[in-house]
Amino acid sequence: MSLSPADVQSFLATLLAGREAAPDLTLGDYLAAIPRLDSLADVPSGTPVLVRGDVDAKPGDAIGKGDIRLRSMVDTLKFGQERGWKQIIFGHIGRDPAGTLAKVAKRIGELLGCDVPLVTDWLDESTGTVADAVKAQIDAAAPGSVLVLDNTRRYDIERVLWKAKPADAATHAEPLAKLVNSFADKVAKVYVNEALSAGSLDTSSVVVPLGMEKVALGKYVASEFDGPMQQCLKTQLVVFSGLKIDKLDDLEAMIGRGTIQIVFAAGSLAMALRKAIGELDGAPVCIGVAEDPAHSDKPYYIPPARVEQAKAMVAEGREKGIEFVTPVDSVITDGSVVTELQADQQQFDIGPASSALYEKKIGDFLASHPNGGVAFHNGVFGMFEDPKFEAGTKNFIPQLKRLKDGGVQVYVGGGEGGKALEKYGQEDWVTHVFTAGGTVLNALGSEPVPYLVTLKAAAK
């Protein structure tokens, strides 16, 4: 059944409103409403199945290098091959519209032991619909075939919702309805999401499923949400860092669940918390250029409203017995260490005294939790790509092993946290490493995971 622009507009208004549209729904509510891959077991051989794949990867020269996301898709793809489905994988690579999935398609073929052709120029932008040649190629494919549609982000319509607001729903409804219906008519009517990291408002993830007759979560995505993600909801110790101050919203939501006992912070998050703690305790703190309105266009700038949010969070947290551990010294632009930032200085890493403090606090946590616990680590402590600013992160990664050795379940969000573990430690130092940092924060934080919102609606 075709979707009307009115159908799409109504859904977009809900999607773009985020948690405000359904404030009482939990992660569990979304997951309970979405079928799993086994629900498609009776889909006949020869049926086209559209797979939103975790294809944002840079495969190295051999299997096992740079392709962890691609390898996470294998069980789902083999499930489809065994049933003779014609699987059409699509997704993006990076943010550059000129990027291509040619190497990704080749690696998927190596992983599956079959030829996986790359389909280029698959969207007719003059009509806003899937090109007729794509349908012909799918029709001609043998049962069990796997194809890859090239980088979805090379087309503007994939990115139209990135900055959209609920009021923009009417503007986008008609072209998106046309695209969704063309996917259902020319590509597939069955959709599987096997892209844990696809947390952005990409059309392929959050609109295309609406036109499907059947949808499901892939094996890997379902196992991540049903397993380690559920454990993370019980987190008692959280390590939060990074440049994006909006992580404050995610931390606030996590604290609201009532399990967190101690917060280790670095990056912009720590700057906001440190400023807030100073104001609450009557000991004003300067956080350098991060509070200078002249830098308001920079990602590290922390608006006064965020400091007020942090003050409320710390005050409420202290009433619940939560401890907030923030840096006591900083590494600045020239690599030197200062105890207090001056107005014209910017923190690029935590200093050695902060590392020592964090190590002591980890020891205190272990001593008070002889029966173990749960810890969640997200982000890095500084601009660790530069050797001048890597010490904070490098010194802390062994603390994750220390926690695990002490009986604590340790979960690491993907992205930079995962890269830091790979660089300074070993994967077996922790309990589990996610392949998607942003999606994990959505799931644990303040906003619902966008593609789960869509899949729940499509499953009806």
Q: What is the DSSP string of 133-174?
A: HHHHHHHHSPTT-EEEE--GGGSGGGGTTTT--GGGHHHHHH
Lookup: tokens for 47:
């049926």
Q: Which domains does the chain have, with CATH numbers?
A: 5-225 (3.40.50.1260), 228-444 (3.40.50.1260)
Rounded to an integer, what distance in angstroms lies between the CA atom of residue 151 and that of residue 161?
Answer: 17
Rounded to an integer, what distance in angstroms lies between the CA atom of residue 380 and that of residue 201?
Answer: 25
In tens, the pLDDT along 355-400 reads 999 999 999 999 999 999 999 998 888 888 888 989 999 999 999 9
Measure CA 3 to chain center. Answer: 29
Residues 6+ apart with CB under 8 A from 405: none
Residues of the chain with pLDDT under 70: 1
For the chain, counts of helices (H) and of strands (E): 18, 17
Distance between first and last Cα of the chain: 13
In tens, the pLDDT along 398-436 reads 999 999 999 999 999 877 788 889 889 999 999 999 988
Predicted pLDDT of residue 384: 83
Sheet holding 118-119, edge to edge: 118-119, 146-149, 86-90, 48-53, 190-194, 214-217
Q: Check the CA dihedral 52-56-62-63 and report its sign.
A: negative
Lookup: tokens for 166:
């609920």
The model scores a pTM over 0.85: yes
Under a CB-based contact definition with an 8 Å cutoff, are residues 59 and 107 in contact? Answer: yes
Rounded to an integer, what distance in angstroms lies between the CA atom of residue 276 and that of residue 270?
Answer: 10
Rounded to an integer, what distance in angstroms lies between the CA atom of residue 345 and that of residue 332?
Answer: 7
Report the SS3 class of residue 334: coil
Phi, psi of 130 (to 5 degrees): -65, 140
Question: What is the DSSP annotation of 294-329?
Answer: GGTTSTT---HHHHHHHHHHHHHHHHTT-EEE--SS
Predicted pLDDT of residue 336: 94
Q: Tally Cβ neighbours within 10 Å of residue 211.
A: 26
Three-class HEC string of 205-245? HHCHHHHCCEEEECHHHHHHHHCHHHHHCCCCEEEECCCCC
- CA dist 347 to 270, 307, 334, 338, Å? 10, 17, 10, 9
- CA dist 346 to 41, 327, 437, Å? 55, 13, 25
Closest Cα partner for 127 from 179, 201, 78? 179
Predicted pLDDT of residue 436: 80
